[in-house]
Amino acid sequence: MSDKTRSIHGEWSSRFAFILAATGSAVGLGNIWKFPYITGQNGGGAFVMVYLACVAAIGVPIMIAEIMLGRRGRQSPINTMQRLSVEAGADPRWHYLGWLGMIAGFLILAYYSVIAGWAMAYIFKAFFGGFFGTDAGEVKAMFDGLMASPLQQLFWHTLFMFITMQVVMRGVQGGLEKAVRFLMPALFVILMILVAYAMSSGAYERGIDFLFSPDFSKIDADAVLTAMGHAFFTLSLGMGAIMVYGSYLPGHVSIAKTTFFIAGADTIVALLAGIAIFPLVFANNLEAAAGPGLIFQTLPLAFGHMGGGWLFGVLFFVLLFFAALTSSISLIEPTVAWLVENKNIERRRACIWSGSACWALGVAVVFSFNIWSGHKWFDKNLFELLDYLTANLMLPIGGLCIALFAGWTMRQADTEQELEMPAQGFQVWQVLIKYVAPASVFLVFLHVLGVL
Ligand code: PHE
Ligand code: NA
């Protein structure tokens, strides 16, 4: 319905292009690196259940809302929120929501780029036969070696940030479509191959059991917050990434159907990654709670022992790199779009400024894994602090505000017109966005604070 307004940054060529880009944003390190390791740290099944419930009851309705706000506002999240609040006759201070999101994306990218750098380093380890015939001890030593080396991590972090900004400079609509079109099916195939290997590992059932048999005594309030925060993180919600992509979406596209596809693809990739990894963990007597190194300490074992492991190993880490790249560009796009709109500078310079600042923070994140690992705030090093602050706090708060704005502040006639859903579907969405999603986020926060 928004054909009358178009984004100054360009538009997707089709609905399919938007789906590809948004799926590219969603599927990333969150699915393959983060989901398995936080599941391992939080005891498995019960944590997975809470995460899946949050995706369905909070993530899906908020994604619908975020795409809708973007398409109607047609600008960077800050200006979109400004425009829409004026349009709804509401307080223009809603635009601070855009600020919160922009800063969250910036902070996430600082560490996201470091982890993506690890994936790049592993492309080369795989290429030079580094996994061949290794045992668990050697694979762990390899990862510890990378952690102990600020220089190696800096090199890869710098390269990753440079590539990200190159892509963003060209405008997100360019090469992105092609990259994701090949990326998703390839990622899917290689995960299936890893799952097949996991089936032969001797501990497949233990792995499945760990992932899917819930034992709720294993999780506490903080685990629930982590699961909820991860639902936002993995779906790229609560910070304007999906909103800014929605602003490049042509009118007359079913937002709800699009959302189901994106959330479905994201969830499947995460579950496949978990199914591939945990049998390996148990078959090799590794620690499920090993932390951020989990995939780097398990998957090389599979590649080092299976037929065709050299090829699959190289391919896997190349694909992981691309998956990270299609997410990282969406983390910085709100900042770049805002700089172009408000500071009146060209896209190129906006990229150089924002990319450099983000890179600098990333350097500190690299050090938090080695020379600064002793520096802690609230018992967390810089990496852990940034992750907690963004995924567990900023994204859920951003999402809560998005839900309140879409559910209560916007006129119902407007949301109805924008979403063009069948009447029943619209009613379900309304209940979720007005009551279920905000109340859940709120209750989880109260629970963590010990009030409830
Ligand atoms: N969804 C991405 C992932 O799972 C991370 C991300 C978060 C991207 C927020 C954009 C915004 O890897
Ligand atoms: Na994801």
pLDDT tens profile 425-434: 999 999 999 9
235 CA to centre of ligand 2 in angstroms: 5
Ligand 1 geometric centre to CA of 194 (Å): 23
- If you search the block for the tokens 């983000």, which residue do you land on? 358
> Amino acid identity, residue 448?
V
Nearest ligand, CA 269: 2
218: pLDDT strictly greater than 90? yes
**Torsional sign, CA 151, 152, 157, 163:** positive
- Ligand approaching nearest to the C-alpha of 33: 1
C-alpha 76/C-alpha 82 separation (Å) is 10
Whether the per-residue pLDDT at 295 is higher than 80: the answer is yes
Is the model's pLDDT at 3 over the cut of 50? no
Residues 6+ apart with CB under 8 A from 288: 40, 41, 44, 210, 278, 281, 282, 294
**Mean pLDDT (whole number) for 90-110:** 94
| Closest atom, ligand 1, to C-alpha of 104 | 9
Confidence of residue 2 (pLDDT cuts 50, 70, 90): very low
**What pLDDT, in 10s, does the model give residues 362-420?**
999 999 999 999 999 999 999 999 999 999 999 999 999 999 999 999 999 999 999 99
pLDDT tens-digit map of 304-325? 999 899 999 999 999 999 999 9
For 352-415, give the secondary structure using H, E and C: HHHHHHHHHHHHHHHHHCCCCCCCCECCECHHHHHHHHHHHHHHHHHHHHHHHHHHHHCCHHHH
Ligand 1 centroid to 25 CA: how many Å?
Answer: 6
Contact of 176 with 15, CB cutoff 8 Å = no
| Mean pLDDT, range 172-201, rounded to an integer | 83
Ligand 1 atom, smallest distance to 395 CA: 9
| Ramachandran class of 76: left when φ > 0, alpha when ψ lies in -120 to 50, beta otherwise | beta
User: What is the distance between the alpha carbons of residues 220 and 30, in angstroms, rounded to a whole number?
Assistant: 22
28 alpha carbon to ligand 1 midpoint, in Å?
6
CA angle (274 as vertex; 270, 367 as ends), nearest 5: 80
pLDDT of residue 15: 78
Residue with CA closest to ligand 1 atom 6: 236
pLDDT at 5: 62
How much is the pLDDT for 1? 39
Q: With DSSP H G I counted as helix, E B as strand and the rest as coil, what are the percentages for the chain, rounded to 5?
A: 75, 0, 20
Q: Find the farthest-apart pair of alpha carbons in the chain and give their distance in angstroms, rounded.
A: 66
Query: Which range is least confidently modeled, 239-243, 253-257, 276-280, 286-290?
Result: 253-257
Instruction: Spell out the domains of the chain, with CATH numbers in brackets.
Output: 15-449 (1.10.4160)
244 CA distance to ligand 1 middle (Å): 14
Query: In whole angstroms, how large is the CA radius of gyration of the chain?
Result: 21
**Four-residue CA torsion sign, 235, 240, 244, 246:** positive
Mutate to test the pocket of ligand 1, among 23, 25, 62, 326 (most ligand atoms within 8 A of CB): 25
Closest C-alpha residue for ligand 1 atom 7: 236
Closest ligand 1 atom to 29 CA: 12
> Which residue has the CA at smallest separation from atom 9 of ligand 1?
236
- Alpha-carbon distance values, 138 to 133, 135, 296, 308 (Å): 10, 5, 12, 20
Nearest listed ligand to the Cα of residue 266: 2
Contact 329, 113 (CB under 8 A): no
- Residue 44 Cα, ligand 2 centroid: separation in angstroms? 18
Round the average pLDDT of the chain to a whole number and report it.
93
Q: Which residues contact 285 (CB under 8 A, 6 or more apart)?
A: 136
